[in-house]
Structure 1
Amino acid sequence: MTELAPIEIDPRTFLREHFALPALPEVVSKIQNLIEGGDADMANVAELVSAEPALAAQVLKVANSAYYGLSREMTAVKFAIAFLGLNEIYRMVVSLSVVNTLAIDEKDELKRFWFHSFYAALCTKYLAKRYEPHLSFEELWSASILHDIGKLVYLKFFPDHYKALQLFCNKEGRLFAEAERHYSLPSSGFLGTLLCDHWRLPDHIRRACECHTLKDLLDIDKEDSSARFRRMICLGNLLTVLSANELNNDTKQEIASAVRSTLDCGEPEFMTMMGDIYELRVEVERFTDQFH
């Protein structure tokens, strides 16, 4: 492949003057204003979401997914709000609107994104229930769903670079972050944080974009209690990659070693955990097939 052109990004103008993006849909700001003003109730939020049929259908698919494990199927947005709450529906609307507004045309790549993101969300919740039960599962969902949003920024604005990065990963069995370093390109995490800043997304989503790679996990101080959220995001992402991607043996060992060290778990516990995570794949495939 021919040599890739360097990418130079000025954070002050990227996504504003160069490679401009539209604003998020009005439904996002309207719900946010209702919640912040104390005027939100189930009826008016349901009306706002239901006025966007495609978005409403996506919200119901997420609400009925394995992540929430509801005992009955939600057939209307108002029922989903009643069961999950206004704030959680707002987080869903934000996450879905971010991906929708990027307007990615490559359907296979978009499906790849949703598969990885939903798998990471399920893995992160699984880990948090075992190791960090006091974390907000609601914030973990939106953070897990959007932690890799920088890859879609790559795909939209630098498609040749994105394809080269994916090709490197596929040929070498290595991680996307390694491919970025190999080509001396900006990290997708950096692009994700710029997107978060541009659209003023919640801080927990920005933190997930900024910190989810193997290097990020290794850089986290195990004794730092304030890093528990970032640690779970990293672990959920890495275990998803380990279970779903074609990796070389060295990369597999690096991830497994880092996970075991972080969780302070032995080989039997780790293998049991991986077995549980492999079983989640059935739900991920079902969700991804329904979503597109």
Structure 2
Amino acid sequence: MKTMIQNATNLPSIPKVVQELIASLNNPNFSSNQVGQIIANDQAIAAKVLRIANSVRYGGHRKVGSIKDAVVVMGIDALRTLVFAIGFTSNIKAPAGFDISAFWLRSFKMANRSKWLAKLLNADTELAYTCGLLHAIGEYLIHVAKPEQAILIDTRVNTGESRSRLERELLGFDYTQAGSELAEHWHFPTEIVQAIRWQENPLAAPELSRYAACVHMAHYMTDHEKHIAAANFDDFPVKLAHALNIKLSDAFSTLQNAPNLDEGIEELLH
């Protein structure tokens, strides 16, 4: 798989600002001034940050004229997360046959749910968001490196077949393995690498990752919206909740009382 990544000559490069901010996730002493300076060094990303920071959702009636102002209005964590979203959506271009709009829509839904679930799972919210945002990056890599097989897999997934099972059957690996290898290639933190790798079965990991659990439960929320609304939790990952020492009553109540988690996604997609 490492060879596949090295031979994928059209893989996107991750902006320096995103790499530096992702590295800062594990640094509790990273200051708002440092975050602001890193963002200000990338004019294209800074301009889009200011546009979104001045939207009704963030700025309201207060004019945000600088990245320093954006830090004050949005807070360091929300600003850093916004830069991740802008950096990835701006640099990852669609290969032939790849529905990039659907990819990012699903990714942002997963990111928002992972972030919201992080409090229930006692995980860092911004790391959880990033894990959710990048959960399917392996699917993108497969489209870049093996486009014909990827399009065939997409066609069969649209008829109801399992993506990961098809990928293992046709390629010998699935999107979680490809994605974790790519995250490692990009020198992302171990938490992100492990979350991507074990998102479909967190209990199979050598060590249980709360971030993999966040993404797994975000999958559950995304795929079972109608069941949750009807208080039908037959498919809920009960064993995972027990392993995390989460009371089922707390989990069910949290899921049923989730707010609108898709607000603001359209701004990030355009």
1:280 aligned residue (239, 246, 260): 260
1:118 and 2:108 aligned? yes
Question: 1:147 is aligned with what amino acid?
Answer: H
Q: Superposed, which structure 2 residues align to 1:228-239 within 5 Å?
A: 228-239=210-221
1:197 aligned residue (176, 184, 193): 184
Q: 1:142 to 1:64 in 2, by over 3 A?
A: farther
Residue 136 of structure 1 aligns with which residue?
124
**Alpha-carbon contact 1:151-1:188 (below 8 Å) kept:** yes
Residue 133 of structure 2 aligns with which residue?
145
Deviation at residue 45 of structure 1 after TM alignment? 2.9
Partners of 1:234 and 1:169 in 2: CA distance: 19
Q: Secondary structure of 1:162's match?
A: helix
**Alpha-carbon contact 1:127-1:236 (below 8 Å) kept:** yes
Question: 1:238 is aligned with what amino acid?
Answer: Y
Partners of 2:80 and 2:249 in 1: CA distance: 40
Deviations, residues 14-59 of structure 1 (Å, cap 9, x unaligned): 332454636433444676899989795365334213x115x64268
Deviations, residues 124-172 of structure 1 (Å, cap 9, x unaligned): 233333x22x321011111110111111111222222222222212113
1:52 and 2:32 aligned? no
Q: Superposed, which structure 2 residues align to 1:187-226 within 5 Å?
A: 187-213=174-200, 216-219=201-204
2:69 aligned residue (79, 85, 96): 79
Question: 1:227 is aligned with what amino acid?
Answer: S
Q: How many residues align?
A: 256
**Alpha-carbon contact 2:179-2:196 (below 8 Å) kept:** yes
Q: Which structure dedicates a bigger proportion of its chain to helix?
A: 1
1:41 and 2:23 aligned? no
**Alpha-carbon contact 1:42-1:86 (below 8 Å) kept:** yes
Q: Secondary structure of 2:126's match?
A: helix
1:242 and 2:220 aligned? no
**Alpha-carbon contact 2:192-2:211 (below 8 Å) kept:** no
Residue 237 of structure 2 aligns with which residue?
259
Partners of 2:85 and 2:181 in 1: CA distance: 16
2:149 aligned residue (157, 161, 168): 161
**Alpha-carbon contact 2:12-2:93 (below 8 Å) kept:** no
Deviation at residue 235 of structure 1 after TM alignment? 1.1
TM-score, scaled relative to structure 1: 0.67
TM-score, scaled relative to structure 2: 0.72
Partners of 1:212 and 1:142 in 2: CA distance: 13
Identity %: 16
Q: 1:261 to 1:179 in 2, by over 3 A?
A: same
**Alpha-carbon contact 1:220-1:231 (below 8 Å) kept:** no
Q: 1:94 to 1:260 in 2, by over 3 A?
A: same
**Alpha-carbon contact 2:5-2:145 (below 8 Å) kept:** no
Question: 1:44 is aligned with what amino acid?
Answer: Q
1:24 and 2:24 aligned? no
**Alpha-carbon contact 1:180-1:186 (below 8 Å) kept:** yes
Partners of 2:87 and 2:187 in 1: CA distance: 13
Deviation at residue 100 of structure 1 after TM alignment? 3.6
Partners of 1:38 and 1:268 in 2: CA distance: 33
Q: 1:289 to 1:159 in 2, by over 3 A?
A: farther
Partners of 2:196 and 2:63 in 1: CA distance: 30
Deviations, residues 237-292 of structure 1 (Å, cap 9, x unaligned): 23223349xxxxxxxx9x9535244336669974x666556x636x25x5136513
